[in-house]
Amino acid sequence: MAPVPHKLRYFHVAFFATVMGTAGLALGWLKAHEVLALPAWPGAALRVLALLLLLAVTLSYAFKILRHRDEVREELQHPVKMSFFPAFSVSLVLASMLLLDISMPVSHGFWLAGAAIHLLLTFNVLTQWMHQPHFRIHHGTPAWFIPVVGNILLPIAGVRHGYIELSWFFFSIGLVYWIVLKVLIFNRIIFHEPMPAKLLPTLFILIAPPSVGFLSYLQLTGGELNDFARILYFSGLFILLLLLVQWRRFLSAQFFLSWWAYSFPLAAFSIASQVYYQQVGHQAFQVIAYGSLALATAVIGMLLFRTLAAIRDGNLFVPD
């Protein structure tokens, strides 16, 4: 097994996606206890796991910053990897959501830190996009959604903490740039070379903005389902179905850390489906709610197993 310093050198910032996926699944199971009358213990256990993962990944990357600054600088300037730095601030916001019913002051602290860091990272990424000389169309992947469109997540806890106008600010950024970046990504997918197998799972990130946007919009508007909320939810449902009919393409790829791109979008859609069922009470959406939670649980369980196996075999901490 490789020594710790060597592992730190190749401890990729994309590891924060493991926190996002696990936290999303924890929120999904916590919601399922309320909406689907499922047991409370899976959500409670996953909440602890997600918070421990956040601590472990944050400390590991902090040590990398101290010991391998050149590698961190390279990731900050990489056209794809740079998009994963805001996964840290998104993880802080998700931690805030996980702690809402445990400690409002602690949740508030996580939300403030996540919101401030995410806004700064959004400015940094957009500035690089606007003034860089070396990005090309093939560098574009749905991972580009994380820095800017990730803002759409903040109102879910922000409204609970009383930041109404600030939550609308973040929601507006996420919604508008989701549309802009979605056009750019589809242009890259349709008119240029196919996405490499390693980045193919990032297509699932397309599910996250409408699913999270649906939840945020309901939070901002008092929880009443309206036509715009329906458009957001069904946009996410369509993208999920579109990708599921292509399942053979995704299963044929070799395991990479990028597979964690499956996790948070599936968890977010499962929560959105539970809320939609809660709103309309139709049995069809109950089936979707159960099915999407089962799918998210199976996929994230598989990802945890494959990641631990890859760490054991020394296949994860290697140069790209």
Q: Is residue 318 part of a domain?
A: no
Q: How many CA atoms lie within 13 A of 217 on its CB side?
A: 22
Q: Mean pLDDT of all residues in the chain?
A: 91
**pLDDT, tens digit, 9 for 90 and up, residues 174-195:** 999 999 999 989 998 888 888 8
Q: How confident is the model at residue 1 (pLDDT cuts 50, 70, 90)?
A: very low
Q: Is residue 111 part of a domain?
A: yes
Burial class of residue 312 (count of CB atoms within 10 Å of its CB; 0-12, 13-18, 19+): exposed
Q: Is residue 320 part of a domain?
A: no
Q: Is the model more confident about 128 or about 19?
A: 19
pLDDT of residue 174: 95
> How many angstroms separate the CA atoms of 131 and 242, rounded?
35
- How many domains, in total, are found in the chain? 1
Contact 201, 250 (CB under 8 A): yes
Q: Is residue 258 part of a domain?
A: yes
Q: How confident is the model at residue 4 (pLDDT cuts 50, 70, 90)?
A: low
What is the CATH classification number for the domain harbouring 261? 1.50.10.150
Question: Which tokens belong to 16?
Answer: 């924060």
**Confidence check: pLDDT of 228 > 60:** yes
**pLDDT, tens digit, 9 for 90 and up, residues 240-274:** 999 999 888 877 667 888 889 999 999 999 999 99
- CA of 27: how far to CAs of 46, 127, 155, 167, 231, in Å? 8, 33, 15, 20, 23
pLDDT of residue 6: 66
**pLDDT, tens digit, 9 for 90 and up, residues 27-39:** 999 999 999 999 9
Amino acid type, 168:
W
pLDDT of residue 172: 97
Q: Which residue segment(s) compose the domain that 184 sits in?
A: 4-313
Q: Is residue 131 part of a domain?
A: yes
pLDDT of residue 312: 83
- Per-residue DSSP letters for 26-80? HHHHHHHHHHS---SHHHHHHHHHHHHHHHHHHHHHHHHHHH-HHHHHHHHH-TT
Give the number of other Cβ atoms within 10 Å of residue 117's Cβ: 17
**pLDDT, tens digit, 9 for 90 and up, residues 299-312:** 999 999 999 988 88
pLDDT of residue 63: 92
Q: Is residue 319 part of a domain?
A: no
Rg (CA), the chain: 19
Q: Is residue 301 part of a domain?
A: yes
Point out the least confidently predicted range of 83-87, 92-96, 150-154, 253-257. 253-257
Q: Is residue 162 part of a domain?
A: yes
